[in-house]
Amino acid sequence: MKVLLTGGAGYIGSHTAVELLRAGHDVVIIDNLSNANESVIENIQKIVQRPVNFYHGDLLNPADLDRVFADHKIDAVVHFAGYKAVGESVAKPLMYYQNNLVSTLNLLETTTRYGVKNLIFSSSATVYGIPEKLPVVEESPLSTLSPYGYTKLAIEHILTDVAAADPSWNITMLRYFNPVGADASGLIGESPRGIPNNLFPFIMRVATGELPELGIFGNDYDTPDGTCVRDYIHVTDLAIGHICALEHLGGLRIYNLGTGRGYSVMECVQEFSRACGFGIPYVIKPRRAGDAPAIYADPTRAANELNWHAQRDLADMCRDCWKYQKNKQ
């Protein structure tokens, strides 16, 4: 297949590009590089020893999308593009609604015009809010606590309505849990700009001395060690999930992509310390508003219908994170 990846130079998009190319597919990437670097494209090509069609373009500009579809006969689209920082979305909600929703509408209008109706959407476990029961299944109640989360939920509603109105669409929505890690080559990984929002980039900045210590928000939750528990999944496992989804397109489908088990913040700090060979300094801070004590997936549906299983554990995630970080230095 020839697959278009919107936001394909980003963290999850770049790893999915690598796995698609390894599996023999052709890849076209469009990215405005607002949270990525063109060197990622070069590193993807180094890893797989194959060319990547890259367009520096913005989904807010329909002409940029037209250029891609005019140049290539696209078979399917994986839609990663979008702003994704929860805190920033609270501070700048209009920016998030404008970018994430309008870019998606432009994409859907363009794909419809070119007759491309195979789509995988990069959704998020944030659509479950603070879950009432664990593990989280696809039928769990939906709610969210941030404008970022609302954009994911709104896009899911849009895609559901599109599929209901036109059954010729094949749409799969993948609800990611907490992707971490890096490609085993160490050439691509997570490298957010500015102060990181997620745990592992923060740990890496502390490990390299860029930041003095890690802030752990709360150690008095009802969890085994008092710190929050999340379902961390290796980004390569997540990327492979997209290939499985492409191979099983058909109607409207929704899947959790997670490992099915939770790791606490403290477990992650200890495992990363083992990976890098020294302790990560941290300080306990007050709880943050809206943080769920624990959230982890039930990935049974993806296992049964996509034949997908997460293969890598927390030690793999930490090792590959640190390898990527050392390669960057």
Residues with a known catalytic role: 148
Q: Where are the alpha helices (DSSP H) in the chain?
A: 11-22, 39-48, 62-71, 86-91, 93-96, 102-113, 147-165, 199-207, 235-247, 265-276, 300-306, 314-328
Instruction: Reduce the secondary structure of 64-93 to three states and give it as a string.
Output: HHHHHHHHCCCCEEEECCCCCCHHHHHHCH
Sign of CA dihedral 54, 111, 89, 272: negative
Q: Is 157 exposed, middle or buried (0-12, 13-18, 19+ CB in 10 A)?
A: exposed
The string over 47-59, giving b where at least 16 C-beta atoms fall within 10 Å of a residue's C-beta and e elsewhere, is bbeeebbbbebbb
Cis peptide before 135 (omega within 30 of 0): yes
The two tokens of residue 82 are 């979008």
Distance, C-alpha 162 to centroid of its chain: 23
Cα-flanking dihedrals φ and ψ of residue 241, to 5°? -55, -35
The two three-digit tokens of residue 148, written as one number: 């970022």
Number of residues written out for the chain? 329
Provide φ and ψ at 15, rounded to 5°.
Answer: -70, -35
